[in-house]
Amino acid sequence: MTAGWSIDQFIGSMTAASPHTTSAYASDIKQFEHWVSRLKVNSPRLVTRDMVRQYISFLTTSKQAKRSVTRKLAAIRRYFAWHVRNGTLKIDPTTGVRTPSGSGRLPKVLTKEQLTA
């Protein structure tokens, strides 16, 4: 599935990043690739801004923590910026995609016992 995505080359270009960061980014991009493959997208060239927004919306509504969604979007942004810098893409589909606002999680509700204690 990753043939046209050049994920390993992208990760290899992240020479200043920690191993933890590169591992997380590789995982995030592979998850995005898997998600868009359900839309019959088999190349980063076919990804649109709307698809990136839909993915962020999907992550947000599937109860991902805001920090996780923010990191996943950062990984995807950096990945597509790398493609543009290398000339493999002309347009970055992440341009204009905003990070979701809010805490990303609902506050914990106190039980009756906790309220009366």
Q: What is the pLDDT of residues 67-84, one digit of tens each?
A: 999 999 999 999 999 999
Please report, for the chain, the start and end positions of each structural domain, with discontinuous segments joined by +. 7-96+105-116
Q: Looking at the predicted structure, is the pLDDT value of residue 117 above 70?
A: no
pTM check: above 0.75: yes
Q: Could you please state the CATH topology (level 3) that the domain comprising 7-96+105-116 is classified under.
A: DNA polymerase; domain 1 (1.10.150)
Is the CB of residue 78 less than 8 Å from the CB of residue 44?
Answer: no
Q: What is the pLDDT of residues 4-28, one digit of tens each?
A: 899 999 999 999 999 999 999 999 9
**How many Å apart are CA 18 and CA 37, to the nearest integer?**
28
What are the two backbone dihedrals, phi and then psi, of residue 5, each rounded to the nearest 5 degrees? -90, -20
54-90 burial code (b ≥16 CB/10 A, e <16): ebbeebbeeebebeebbbbbbbbbbbbebbeeeeebe
**How many Å apart are CA 117 and CA 95, to the nearest integer?**
50
